[in-house]
Amino acid sequence: MGKPRDSSFFWEQVEIIENACWMWKGSRTTGVEYGIYYDGKRTYLAHRYMWQIVNGDIPRKMCVLHTCAFLLCCNPEHLYLGTAKIAAQDRMKRRKQKSPWSKLTEDDVRYILRSSDSHYDLSLRFDISMQHVRQIRNGESWLWIYEEYLESESF
Ligand SMILES: [Zn+2]
């Protein structure tokens, strides 16, 4: 285990432009493109890390959402807290996809994210569409669990 890095390492990776999006210049996730920040000890999503620097801890089950359309943006003025429901609506507006995910529990979603089974096997196991499995794995639905999952992974 390393020591947490000084937060200057975080700021070095943010391109700050007044009254505009602050682009994350460091690593990114695959699928939904979020910035990833590794502080020497654990991994964070860059926009969530920024929100926490400015506002403190993120309440459970809340997502850090963007008012801009740019998920790599870390400008705290473009970030807001939303419930999973708002996150889903936000995402649907952006992607225009239906996400009938009410059958699943949070633990099911965690299982799907950790599983190496095929989309097909998981769709049979949970009685959901393959498209829905794909959406979960891409963070297009159940965003708050996806974020939790990404932060628990080591990249
Ligand atoms: Zn922005």
pTM exceeds cut of 0.85: no
pLDDT in tens, 114-148: 999 999 999 988 888 899 899 899 887 788 888 88
Ligand 1 geometric centre to CA of 69 (Å) = 7
Strands 23-24 and 63-66: unpaired
Q: Alpha-carbon distance 136 to 134, whole Å?
A: 5
Measured N-to-C along each axis, helices 84-95 and 143-152 cross at an angle, to the nearest 10 degrees, of 100
Calculate ∠ Cα 22-32-56, nearest 5°. 50
What pLDDT sits at residue 100? Answer: 46
Q: Please, are residues 137 and 131 in contact by the beta-carbon 8 Å criterion? A: no
Which residues fall within 8 angstroms of residue 23, CB to CB, at 6 or more apart?
14, 15, 17, 70, 72, 73, 74
Tokens of 60: 């459970």
Check residue 85 and give its pLDDT.
77
Predicted local confidence at residue 93, as pLDDT: 65
Q: How many residues does the chain have?
A: 155
Give me the residue spans of the domains in the chain: 8-152
From the CA of 131, how far away is ligand 1's center (Å)?
29
pLDDT, tens digit only, all 155 positions of the chain: 445 567 788 999 999 988 899 999 999 887 778 899 988 888 899 999 999 999 999 998 888 998 887 889 999 999 999 887 777 777 666 554 444 445 788 889 999 999 999 999 999 888 888 998 998 998 877 888 888 888 887 54
Cα 135 to ligand 1 centroid, rounded to whole Å: 24
Cα-to-centroid distance, 11 and ligand 1 (Å): 16
pLDDT for residue 89: 74
Q: State the DSSP string of 62-119.
A: -EEEESSS-TTB--GGGEEEE-HHHHHHHHHHHH------TT--HHHHHHHHH--S-H
